[in-house]
Chains A and B, each alone.
Chain A
Amino acid sequence: ETGVTQTPRHLVMGMTNKKSLKCEQHLGHNAMYWYKQSAKKPLELMFVYSLEERVENNSVPSRFSPECPNSSHLFLHLHTLQPEDSALYLCASSQDYAQATNTEAFFGQGTRLTVV
């Protein structure tokens, strides 16, 4: 138990579906992240929120839409995905963002997404 909970653990969706991934952290952290992990690529940072504001703008397709309603919750809304979007989606949190210390990431167990 890392203090970061992700739901669902597994998700199969069609290309025309709309679904959302949920992440909740119970650690009182100020920063939350979405990472994508696929078989042949490193952990790819998708989105960063610090103090509930989106702070980094990586090149992520618009079919992925993040939402951070408060400091404990992070969502990833999915719509019209492609089969190549199938991957493990990991949420993480850290005490602070882009500081010399207090940035160790605590990961959730991930959502295994399959797009059919």
Chain B
Amino acid sequence: GQQVMQIPQYQHVQEGEDFTTYCNSSTTLSNIQWYKQRPGGHPVFLIQLVKSGEVKKQKRLTFQFGEAKKNSSLHITATQTTDVGTYFCAGEAGTALIFGKGTTLSVSS
């Protein structure tokens, strides 16, 4: 069945450093979505990418969708303590969303 892999599983950074999480799908996706889950919270939608090679930005966050529509990345520039949480990618290929395991980001000041 369709699988979505996400790396790394954990990442610790100093405040001000950059952070990147990568997502790879075993199948071509119609779209990919990114979610953030704060500790003790629930996943919250961040963004959706649909087009091959698409790049979208939200302030310090940059999202990319690969040319083959099988991989994606989320890059955070100059992390802040408010960025802590788990970032999930979720891919869709004609079925309901399949989530990656997530990358848990911790930030020390």
CA distance A90 to B44 in the complex (A): 12
A side interface size, CB within 8 A: 23
| CB proximity of A7 to chain B, nearest CB, Å | 14
**Mask of B22-34 contacts with A, CB within 8 angstroms, 1/0:** 0000000011010
**Mask of A4-48 contacts with B, CB within 8 angstroms, 1/0:** 000000000000000000000000000101010000011101001
A residues within 8 A CB of B97? 45, 103, 105
Check A107–B44 contact: CB distance below 8 A. yes
Check A41–B101 contact: CB distance below 8 A. yes
A61-69, A75-83, A94-102 - the one binding chain B: A94-102
A residues within 8 A CB of B102? 42
**Mask of B73-90 contacts with A, CB within 8 angstroms, 1/0:** 000000000000000101
Check B94–A98 contact: CB distance below 8 A. yes
Q: A41-B101, A42-B102, A43-B88 are in contact. Are A104 and B96 (CB under 8 A)?
A: no
Of A56, A90, A104, the residue contacting B95 (CB under 8 A) is A56
B interface residues (Cβ-Cβ under 8 A, vs A): 4, 30-31, 33, 35, 41-45, 48, 50, 88, 90, 92, 94-102
28 CB contacts below 8 A, A to B, read: A2-B42, A2-B44, A33-B96, A35-B99, A42-B4, A42-B100, A42-B101, A42-B102, A43-B99, A45-B97, A45-B98, A48-B96, A56-B95, A56-B96, A90-B43, A98-B92, A98-B94, A100-B50, A101-B31, A101-B50, A103-B33, A103-B48, A103-B92, A105-B43, A105-B97, A107-B42, A108-B42, A109-B42
Besides A101-B48, A107-B43, A110-B42, 8 other A-B contacts (C-beta < 8 A) = A2-B42, A2-B44, A97-B96, A98-B94, A100-B31, A103-B33, A103-B92, A109-B41
